[in-house]
Structure 1
Amino acid sequence: MIIDTHAHMSDSRFDNDREIVIQKAFDCGIEKIFEIACEMRYWDRALELSKRDNIFLSVGVHPIETTKATREDYYKLQVLIQDKKCIAIGEIGLDYHYDSSLQNTNTQKESFFKQIDIAVKYNKAVIIHCRDAYDEMIDFFKKYKNVPKGVIHCFSGTPKQAKMFIEMGFLLGINGPVTYKKSDNLKQVVFETDLNKLLVETDCPYLAPQKYRGQRNEPSYIAETLKEIATIKNILINEVVQITTQNALKLFGI
């Protein structure tokens, strides 16, 4: 059983063929899709998608969206996460790639800390987005008393940072970039990390694996990530599937 633990099927880029893409994923052996709604405009659409068998939901305010979020949005978030198909809060976090100004970083931090507190209050896993802010993220969790369970989505940090997150109880989300020709650092992270600390994801429609690079990503393309992990670790792909699936089921309480 394969699980795509991070997809954005609500995204408008799937408006013309969403049903076809979802069915293709199931036909290719994917049995569960975790729909990640981190833009407020997609929350209701994602909730509707999650009413289907084998599609689960996570909602949150992405760091890039924090300047748009209202007090009412955070109230709605707390309602949505109580839905029986909602397994996590996310993706949430810090992203300083495009704007590292003090005003932007403070806005992101306020939203991130608020959502972490909500996750702890409702005992939800968290899906963490982190870009150009790994050291700051690590420092935050070192000081936080009740670190929630969760995953560092689309991990792209160093092997040392990977170990620090794992020591704090997080799993690492691995997706298309591990297949890229210049991803030696990420391949090293995968090589050094126990398989029971990894999740596989697509982040579709973003970050298509090397075979489909430049195209819209889809859940069915997760096979490329599974193959690459198996190659790096010199094990059978079935072992990667089995262990990463169990990791996901355990983390998200399914």
Structure 2
Amino acid sequence: MNKKMIIDTHAHISDSRFDDDREIVIQKAFDCGIEKIFEIACEMRYWDRALELSKQDNIFLSFGVHPIETLKATREDYYKLQALIQDKKCIAVGEIGLDYHYDSSPQNINIQKESFLKQIDIAVKHNKTVIIHCRDAYDEMIDFFQKYKNVPKGVIHCFSGTPKQAKIFIEMGFLLGIDGPVTYKKSDNLKQVVFETDLNKLLVETDCPYLAPQKYRGQRNEPSYIVETLKEVAAIKNVLIDDVAQVTTQNALRLFNI
């Protein structure tokens, strides 16, 4: 594979699981051909650490309040978010969204929806791309954007919906983020989504330290492992891995205005 062609468009290197070897992990990624890393700071406790990380060349930022974090978020946090996204290295608001996997109580759902709307409004106001987290809430997410007047450009991170839902999001203008689970043996649905979706509508992500690809499953994920996702997408699409790397990189540069 040619060097300097790959972007990990979704990493959480600020996470405490990288405290012992963060710089080594970053250097390993760049050494193996990762051109840029997009650090997604969606927990308030990691915002400042992520900002510090972004001082390094080729590390870009996104700030947001993850749906699972919304119960903790204060008014001051949202004020700080609006200040942070104006940093020159900040390319998006996110990851933000809806997650009903652990708690689908009416109270939690309402708080998540309020936070999501607030952050979408912030993104639109500041002309930022959005990184959308959606888990067990795809129909609700589709309904939200069908009603929202000015749908921002963005990506449905770690897509795990149906091929039909994928088409709806793409028609709305979103790209789909493809992560390590596409390499799993029982991921037939996701493989079908990749097969049916034009390469120009896909991004590759790690979501590290989560969702390590099959080869490293059960281990801490890291940006350099994105090669496994690229290989799988190339196999599904029956194209060269370099082609997948090149197209998805161009997709990312265009989506995030870099």
Cα distance in 2 for residues equivalent to 1:144 and 1:51: 35
Q: Given residue 246 of structure 1, which amino acid in structure 2 is its aligned partner?
A: Q
Q: Aligned pair 1:28/2:32, yes or no?
A: yes
Q: Counterpart in 2 of 1:39?
A: 43
- Show structure 2 runs of 5+ residues with no match: none
Q: Given residue 251 of structure 2, which amino acid in structure 1 is its aligned partner?
A: N
- Superposition RMSD in Å: 0.3
TM-score, reference length from structure 1: 1.00
Segments of 4+ moved more than 3 angstroms: none
Cα distance in 2 for residues equivalent to 1:22 and 1:120: 31
- Show structure 1 runs of 5+ residues with no match: none
Q: Aligned pair 1:240/2:235, yes or no?
A: no
2:103 counterpart (89, 96, 99): 99
Q: Counterpart in 1 of 2:197?
A: 193
Q: Counterpart in 1 of 2:85?
A: 81
Q: Aligned pair 1:215/2:219, yes or no?
A: yes
Residue deviations 1:50-95 (CA, integer Å, cap 9, x gap): 1110000000000000000000000000000000000000000000
Cα distance in 2 for residues equivalent to 1:42 and 1:114: 20
Q: Aligned pair 1:59/2:63, yes or no?
A: yes
1:167 counterpart (154, 159, 171): 171
Q: CA deviation at 1:251?
A: 0.2
Q: Counterpart in 1 of 2:6?
A: 2
Cα distance in 1 for residues equivalent to 2:219 and 2:98: 26
Q: Counterpart in 2 of 1:72?
A: 76
Cα distance in 2 for residues equivalent to 1:231 and 1:195: 12
Cα distance in 2 for residues equivalent to 1:191 and 1:179: 13
Q: CA deviation at 1:223?
A: 0.2
Cα distance in 2 for residues equivalent to 1:74 and 1:56: 20
Q: Counterpart in 2 of 1:113?
A: 117
Q: How high is the sequence identity, in percent, across the aligned residues? A: 90
Q: CA deviation at 1:5?
A: 0.1
Q: Aligned pair 1:140/2:141, yes or no?
A: no
Cα distance in 2 for residues equivalent to 1:148 and 1:158: 22
Secondary structure of the 2:37 match is strand
Q: CA deviation at 1:118?
A: 0.2
TM-score, reference length from structure 2: 0.98
Cα distance in 1 for residues equivalent to 2:49 and 2:37: 15
Q: Given residue 226 of structure 1, which amino acid in structure 2 is its aligned partner?
A: L
Cα distance in 2 for residues equivalent to 1:67 and 1:208: 28
Cα distance in 2 for residues equivalent to 1:100 and 1:38: 20
The count of residues paired between Structure 1 and Structure 2 equals 254
